[in-house]
A and B are shown apart, each in its own frame.
Chain A
Amino acid sequence: MAHSVNFDLTADHMEAGLESPADEEGVHDSFNQLIEDQRQEALELQELQRDLDEEERDSVAYLSSPGQEIWRGSPGRGEEEGGGQLDPLLEERWSSATLKVLSSMPSRTIGRSRGAIISQYYNRTMKLRRRRQSRPSIKDFSRSARPSIRGYGMETDCMETEGVDEEGRKRDQLVNNLQNLSLSDRVRMLRAMPLSVAEKSELRRLADRKGRRSNHSQIPCCSQLKYHIIIALRHSWYSCLSFLHSLQLWQVALKRVSGRFGTGVLSYFLFVKTLLFFNIFLFLVTGLLLAVPQAVHPPTLTQGHEAFSGLELLTGGGYFSDSVMYYGYYSNSTLSKDCRVTSSSMEQQPSPSVSRRTMETDCGVKPSYNMPLAYFFTIGLAFFITCIILVYSMSKSFGQSFRIDKSHGILAMKVFCSWDFKVIKKTSVKLRSENICIQLRELLEETSRKHVQKTACQRIGRVLVHVLAWFICIGSTVACVLALYYFSEYMHKDLQYRSRIPTKDPLLKEASLLALPVVVSLINLLLPGIFNATAWMEEYDSPSVNTYIAISRNLMLKVSVLVVLCFHWLGRIASDPHSIGLQCWESFVGQELYRFLLMDFIFTILDTFFGEFLWRLFSQRVLKRKRKPVFDISRNVLELIYGQTLAWLGVLFTPLLPAVQIIKLLLLFYMKQTSVMMNCQSPRKPYRASQMSTIFITLLCCPSFLGAAVCVSYTMWSIRPSESCGPFRSLSTMFQSGKLWVKELETHNPNLAWLAWAHSYIVENPLFLFLAAGIFLIVIYFNTQVVDGQRKIISLLQEQIENEGEDKKFLITRLQAIHQQKRPLSPRRLTSQASQDSNC
C-alpha cells in the first residue's frame, strides 16, 4: 500500500463553482454539500428500489466482486453508516466501471503487476537513499531546485527520465536510485525484489552499467579497487559455498527425514549437526595446540606402559591413562626441538620461566613451546570463542522468533503458515493434512467455546492434580539425587578401601569404577518416563505449556545430577586425592568423564533399541495400535545437551574428549535416523520448530555451557593442581601460570607494564564488573521501553488502517451510487458517463 489515494477534486470544484482549491474551508463545505446531495438522491433511489425488491439484501461490509459467492450469513457485521445498499435487481451488482476501479486499486495490484512492484521498490530505494546520503551543502546546487530536494540530486533524476509510458519511467527512476546506492545496499535490494530472474538481471545490468560509467569519471581509483575486490571476494565466496555444498554432509539424509516428518524432527538432526561443528572446532584447537606438540615430544615415563586390554575402551584407564589423552601426560616445561627436555622435578626448576631461559642458553635460538602457558591459554581461548559463537547464534535465533505484538492471530497464522512444502512423500502429506484438519477443528472449538466458567470444585480439583504431579516429580528428583549422593560417597569409600588393600583383581577395580556412570545413566533414562506418566494425568490449557513443563522438569533433573557429580569430583576427589591412592586426580576425573560420556552413549543405544524399535513392535502386534510411537524431540535434545555439558566439563582434564564426542555424535546421527525412519512418526501436536530451536540453543548456552565454564573457571582459580603430573604441577593454582607469565613479561620488557596494571585493576577488581553489569542493565531497560513504545504505535497504526478502510468503502459505494443514479437516464449516456468517470 505504497500509494495513498489521490483525490482529484478538480472536477468537483468545477461543478460546485469554486475558484481556487487553496481555499480550504470552501473545499470542505462544498464537498459536504455534494455528499449531502448525493445522499439524498441515493436515498430516494433506494426507496424506489426497495419497493421493487423483495429479495434478501446483503450488507455492504464485503466489497467482493459479485462474480463469486457473496458471503452470506455473517452476522454481527453492522452495515456501514453510509447506508448505500446494493441493488439486488441488477445482474451485476457493481457496474463495470466500479469493478475496473476496484481491480486496479494499488492494494490489489501490488501482488500481480510488475509496474506496481517496481514503483513500490522505487519508493523503498528512495527512502534508503535519503537515509544513507548525507546532505551536501546547498551551495553546490543550482538555485532552481526546491530546497527540500536540493540535497538529493533529484534534479538529475527528473532530467534523465525518458520513455513515454509510466512503467518505463518508473523503471528508469528505480535504476537511477539503485545506481546511487552503495554496492551492498543495491545487492540487498535486488535480492529482496519479487520479480522474475530475467528482470532482476536486467535491472542489475542497467544499474551496474550506469554506475560504472559515472563512477569511472568521478570516483577516485581506490573505490574502483574496492569495487573489484568486492566482486572478486564474492566470486570466491560463491565457489567456496559450492564446494561446501558439494561436500553434502548429511544433506541427503536430512532431506529424507524432512520429507517424511517435516520441520519438527528435522530440528533435532540439525541440532546434532550444530553440536558436531562445535566439537570439531574444539578438537582442532586443542589437538593442534596441545596434543600434537606434546605427542611430538613424549615425556619420559616413570613407570612402564600398561598393556592394552579391551576394557580400556569402556573405562578409559589402563593403556590410555598415560597417553596424550589425559592431563597427566602433559609436561610442565617448555618443549623444544633437539634439546633434552628438562625433567620436571621440583628441585631443579622452581618456575617455568627459569627452564625457558636455560633452554635458550643451551640450545641457542630454537623454537620453544611453553606447555603450561599453552595449556592455560588454549583452554581459555577455546571457551571464549565457543561462548561468542553460542551467544551470537542464540541472539540470531531469538531475533527470528520473537515478535513484538502479542496479538492472538493463531487461526490465520495456522492456515497460512502450516503447510510444510518440504514434505513430499504421499503418505506423509496425507498424514499432515489430517493433522491440520484436527488442529483446525480443535482451534475452532477453543475459540468458539464461550469461556466456560469452571465450578469452584473443578478448579480446586485441577489445582490439586497439578500440585500432586509436581510433588511427584520433585520428590522423585530429590530422592534420586540424594541416592546418587550417598552412592557416590559409598563408591568413594570403597575406592579408599581398595587403595589401601593390595588389589587382588585389578580388573574388578576398574570395572567397579563403571558403577557410578551406570547409575547416573539409569536415572537419566527412567525418570523422564515418570515425568511423562505424571503429565498424562494433568491437563494444561495449551499443548505448548505441556512441552515447556516437560522440558523444565527434565532440565531440573539433569542440572541437579550434574551439580552432585561436580561436587563429587571437585569437592571430594580433588581436595584429597591421596586418600584413594591417586597421584594425578585430574587424569582420574578425565577418565571419569570419559566413562560417563561412553555410558551415556551406550544407554542411548539401548534406549533407541528398546524404547523405539521394540516398543513399536509391541504396540503394533500386541496392543494393535495403528499409529507408530511418536519421536519425543525435547527429550532427545536434552540428552544431547547433557552429553555436550559433559564434554565441555572434560576438555580441561581430557583435551581429546571432543574427539570422542565427535565419534559419538556421528554414530548417533545414523542410528537415530534409521530408527526414526523405521519406528516413529511425527508428533501430532503442533510443533513450533523455530521457537523450540531458540529454546534449545538457549539451554545449550545458559545452564549447559555456563555451568561448564563456571566449573572450569573454579577449577583453574581455586583448586590446587596435583604435584606430580600435568603442566601445572609446581603451581598453587592453574591460574598462577598466567600471572607468572605476565610478571615475567614485565621484567623482560618494561614497556608492557601497563598489561600487568590492566590485569590487576580490571580483571581482578570487582568494581569493573559491577560497572559493566550496570551498563548492560541500563541498555536492556532502554530497549524494553523502546519495545513498549513500538507496541503502542502498532495499535495506533492498526486503528488508522481501519479508518482508511472505512474511507475506501465509503468512496466505492459513493461511486457505485453515482453510477446507479445516472443509469435510468439513458444507457448510452451512462456508458459514456461511466467511461468518463472511470478516468478520474
Chain B
Amino acid sequence: MGTTASQLRKDLLSEYQVVMHVFFRAHKRFSELLSKEDRNVPTPRVPMEKVLSLPELKSNPFRKRICHVFSTSDMKDGSLTFEDFLDLLSAFSDSATLEIKSHYAFRIFDFDDDGTLDGGDLEKLVNCLTGETDDTRLTTEEMRQLISNILEESDIDKDGTVNLSEFQHVISRSPDFVRSVQI
C-alpha cells in the first residue's frame, strides 16, 4: 500500500479537497479494512461488507447505495478501491460544493439507476428514511399521497419523474443540505 500512496502525487491533494492530514488518516483507515493478502496487490479492492463495517456507514440506511454509487468495479458488487474511497470522503467532506453533493445525493437516491427518481425510487427513499420497523412505516395510502405531493411540488416538466435538474432545484431551497450531507 505504501507504493500506492507515493504514486498519488501531492498536487492531487487539491482535487481531493481534503487536507493532507485527513488524507493520511483515510489511507490508514482504508488499509485497516484490507485483508492481509490483499495488501500486496497493486490496486486493492475492499469488498462491500468490509466498507459497511465503518462506523460512519454502519447504521446509515443508504449505506449500500453509497457503496454502489462510488464503486468503479465492473462486477457492480459495491467494492471500493482507495481512489473510490477518497472520492467518497471528498464528496462528503465539508469543502465539497453544493453541486457535487447534490449530484451524488441524486445518484444515491436513484435506486434503479435509470437517471431519474420515479415513483418506485421515491417509495424506497421514504422507506429508508422512516426506518425498518413496522410502526414507523407509512401506510400505502399515506405513501401514495406523499409521493403524489412530492411530484406535484418538484416535477416541473410534469413527466412523472424528478430528474437531476429538478432535484437540484428543490435542494437549492434548503440551506441545510450542504451541512447534513457530510460525514
Interface of A toward B, CB cutoff 8 Å: 1, 61-65, 68-69, 71, 73-74, 103, 107-112, 187, 190-194, 196-198, 200-201, 204, 234, 238-239, 241-242, 245-246, 262-263, 400-401, 403, 405, 407-413, 415-422, 424-426, 429-430, 433-434, 436-437, 440-441, 444, 447-448, 688-691, 798, 801-802, 804-806, 808-809
Contacts and interface: CB of A to CB of B under 8 A. Distances in A.
B1 interface: no
Nearest to A804: B157
B164 A420 contact: no
B25 to A, nearest CB: 10
A812 to B, nearest CB: 9
B56 interface: yes
Contacts of A65: 114
A247 to B, nearest CB: 10
Contacts of B5: none
A441 B97 contact: no
Contacts of B60: 421, 424, 429
B82 to A, nearest CB: 10
A412 B150 contact: yes
22 contacts: A74-B148, A107-B163, A194-B100, A196-B72, A197-B12, A197-B15, A409-B153, A410-B153, A411-B153, A412-B153, A413-B170, A415-B146, A419-B62, A421-B180, A424-B59, A424-B60, A425-B59, A426-B58, A437-B137, A440-B138, A688-B176, A690-B179
Contact of A238 (B14, B72, B183): B14
Interface stretch (B29-37, B45-53, B118-126): B118-126
A424 B58 contact: yes
B154 A64 contact: no
Interface centre among A68, A109, A412, A422 (most CB of B within 10 A): A412
Nearest to B161: A64
Given A424-B58, A801-B157, A808-B159, A440 B19 contact: no
Given A62-B160, A437-B130, A417 B87 contact: no
A245 B22 contact: yes
Given A409-B170, A437-B130, 8 more contacts: A419-B61, A419-B62, A421-B181, A424-B55, A440-B130, A690-B179, A802-B158, A809-B158
A61 B182 CA distance: 37
A103 B115 contact: yes
B14 A187 contact: yes
Nearest to B100: A194
Given A64-B118, A197-B12, A424-B56, A437 B177 contact: no
Nearest to B17: A191
Contacts of A109: 115
Interface string B133-145: 1001110001011
Q: Among A400, A424, A436, find the residue whose CB has the most chain B CB atoms closer than 10 A.
A: A424
B113 interface: yes
A74 B92 CA distance: 37
A689 B12 contact: no
Task: Tell me which of B105, B112, B159 has the highest count of chain A C-beta atoms within 10 A of its own C-beta.
Answer: B159
B180 A107 contact: no
Interface residues of B, number: 85
B76 interface: no
Contacts of B16: 197
A110 B160 contact: no
Contacts of B129: 415, 418-419, 433, 436-437, 440
Contacts of B148: 74
B164 A110 contact: yes
A110 B87 contact: no
Contacts of A200: 15
A444 B125 CA distance: 17
A317 B154 CA distance: 64
B88 to A, nearest CB: 10
Nearest to A73: B144
Contacts of A415: 122, 125-126, 129, 146, 150
Given A61-B158, A192-B97, A436-B129, A422 B183 contact: yes
B145 A448 contact: yes
B176 A417 contact: yes
Contacts of A71: 119, 160
Nearest to B149: A411
Contacts of A194: 91, 99-100, 103-104
B165 A1 contact: yes
A401 B177 CA distance: 11
Nearest to A798: B156
B119 A64 contact: yes
A241 B20 CA distance: 9
Given A112-B113, A415-B126, A415-B129, A434 B136 contact: yes
A108 B119 contact: no
Nearest to A425: B59
Given A411-B150, A417-B180, A242 B20 contact: yes
Contacts of A421: 60, 92, 180-183
Nearest to B92: A421
A437 B136 contact: yes
Contacts of B13: 238
B130 A436 contact: yes
B116 interface: yes
Contacts of B116: 107-108, 111
Most buried by A among B19, B72, B154: B19
Contacts of A62: 118-119, 159-160
B42 to A, nearest CB: 15
A690 B176 contact: yes
Contact of B106 (A111, A192, A441, A802): A111
A657 to B, nearest CB: 33
The 9 closest A-B pairs by CB, nearest first: A805-B157, A433-B131, A62-B160, A108-B115, A194-B103, A690-B175, A412-B154, A437-B130, A417-B174
Given A112-B107, A421-B92, A433-B130, A403 B118 contact: no
Contacts of B133: 430
A722 B127 CA distance: 71
A262 B176 CA distance: 11
Contacts of B114: 65, 103, 108
Contact of A426 (B20, B59, B136, B171): B59
Contacts of B150: 411-412, 415
Contacts of A809: 158-159
Contacts of A413: 170-171, 173-174
Contacts of A262: 180
A420 B170 contact: no
Contacts of B159: 62-63, 805, 808-809
B131 A437 contact: yes
A421 B57 CA distance: 9
A191 B120 CA distance: 33
A805 B52 CA distance: 40
B147 to A, nearest CB: 8
